[in-house]
Structure 1
Amino acid sequence: MKHFDLSLYLVLDPDLCGGPEGMIHTARVAAEHGATMVQLRAPTWKKRLWLETATVLKAVLDPMGVPLIINDQVDVALAIDAAGVHVGQSDLPIEVVRRLVGPNKIVGLSASNAAQMADAPFTLVDYLGVGPVYPTGTKPDASPVIGLPHFAELMAAKPLPVVAIGGIKQGGAAPIIAAGADGVAVVSAICGQTDIAAATTLLLQEIEGARS
């Protein structure tokens, strides 16, 4: 049985975190202070660095019960026995991903509009990453910004648990949770912050406040 909590989903960025060591440090501190899932995303890296960093991240996060999700690199996820993988619309098809990782891994899929959400193979996907909700600078190839009003419309018909992504900073998480998201995925709101612990704690408080 897959158990995961999308509430505060940290996406690690090599540039903002200051390379592999910074990513590992960021993940550790964030997990200690309430991050519920961590994704390794490093589109420009060679596979060896992916493998080495993911191996350490898994060793750090497993004892805390925080799932490590690998972005796109299914082979790396399998090599280190990560909790799951996240893929975009132009990555390996979900049917192939699920066949490779088996039934027990977490599989996430990016979606940026109603058509992509409706087309998601619901029996094969565990959650959707929907965005960008706000303008973002950490993903140059991001889809057009959805905006909060349209995001709320999408949430009214969501077929799966949803984590929102895209430009989410402190103060921007509560409206997203109020709109119906199950969690928020953040990059620069934690990566590169001078006080990672405080940044994580404040975001989690904001999310929990919006729910109550």
Structure 2
Amino acid sequence: MDLKQKLRESVFYGILDTGYVAKDMMFEKCKQLIDGGCGLIQLRAKKETHLEREKIAEEILPLFRSENAPIFIINDDIELAMQIDIAGLHIGQDDMPPEMAREFLGKNKVLGLSTHSIEQAKNADTLSDILDYFAVGPLFATQTKPGRIPVGLELASEVKAMRPKLPWFCIGGVNLNTVESVAKSGAERIVAVSDVLKPEDTASAVRELTQKFLHHKTA
């Protein structure tokens, strides 16, 4: 399966966030995200240095070498994404422009962008020759992004109505309590962070949230 097809078929995007996972648990939590069925997994280590991120990435990299492994994404570290042959990159609105990121990454790596408004989502979708996916959020207030004003479910509905060419994911406060409303808003794919990283059995948490999302999405 090629990367674009794998992206389109992905429902759950997992984030291995050092804000929720201890350094000595990174490999085990990553394995559990994979066992839970994540189509993509992003390493997000905002407070760590490049060398610390590199060490974590090298530790978990063997988990992404198998044929059916999820897509491996690095958050906002172009240098590290370029170092690792199979790593893609996720950037935000305040990071380098997608065109520049693509130039550095080359053609065959996955590149994603965060969006926080309908204008940003529309702009992202016009870059379908540069980007591979975009994320929409945060839908709800979340401790993962403290201080970020939530965009609300209306934005997910507006993006759905756009009929984007690119795959898109809803992020921010997606959990067992909110996932029904997220599904009914028109979301096609979801990202969850704390709701699946905090439980001891992360794989079961991912499966439960995914199943609930799909149930309400098709209901």
Instruction: Give the alignment's TM-score, normalised by structure 1.
Output: 0.91
> Pick from 25, 29, 32: which aligns with 2:28?
25
**How many aligned residue pairs are there?**
210
User: Hey, what's the Cα distance between the residues in 2 that align with 1:180 and 1:56?
Assistant: 37
Matched, 1:164 2:170: yes
Superposition pairs of residues 27-176 of structure 1, within 5 angstroms: 27-63=30-66, 64-120=68-124, 121-140=127-146, 142=148, 144-159=149-164, 160-176=166-182
Structure 1 residue 58: deviation in Å? 2.1
Cα deviation digits, residues 83-133 of structure 1 (max 9, x gap):
411000011110011011111111100000011112222321111110000
Deviations 1:134-176 (A, max 9, x none): 111112353x211113321232115321101101112422332
Distance 1:138 1:95 in 2: 27
Q: Greater CA deviation, 168-177 or 180-189?
A: 168-177
How far residue 182 of structure 1 moved from its aligned partner, in angstroms, is 2.5
Where structure 2 has 5 or more consecutive residues not aligned to the other structure, the ranges are none
Query: Once superposed, which parts of structure 1, at least 4 consecutive aligned residues long, lie more than 3 Å away?
Result: none
Does the 8 Å CA contact 1:107/1:126 hold for their aligned counterparts?
yes
Name the residue aligned to 1:204: 210
**Percent identity of the aligned residues?**
30
Q: Residue type matched to 1:105 in 2?
A: K
The question of whether the paired residues in 2 share the 8 Å contact of 1:117 and 1:158 is answered with no
CA contact (8 A) 2:117 2:155 kept: no
Equivalent AA in structure 1 for residue 29 of structure 2? T
The 2-side partners of 1:83 and 1:104 are apart by 10
Distance in 2, matches of 1:109 and 1:187, equals 17
The verdict on how the C-alpha distance between 1:176 and 1:6 changes in structure 2, with shifts beyond 3 A counting, is farther
1:189 and 2:195 correspond: yes
- After superposition, the C-alpha distances for 1:159-206 in whole angstroms (9 at most, x for unaligned) are 321101101112422332333322111110111212212211201211
Shift in CA distance, 190/98, structure 1 to aligned 2, threshold 3 Å: same
Deviations 1:39-63 (A, max 9, x none): 0011111111111111222211332
The CA RMSD measured in Å over matched residues stands at 1.7
CA distance in 2, matches of 1:158, 1:146: 19
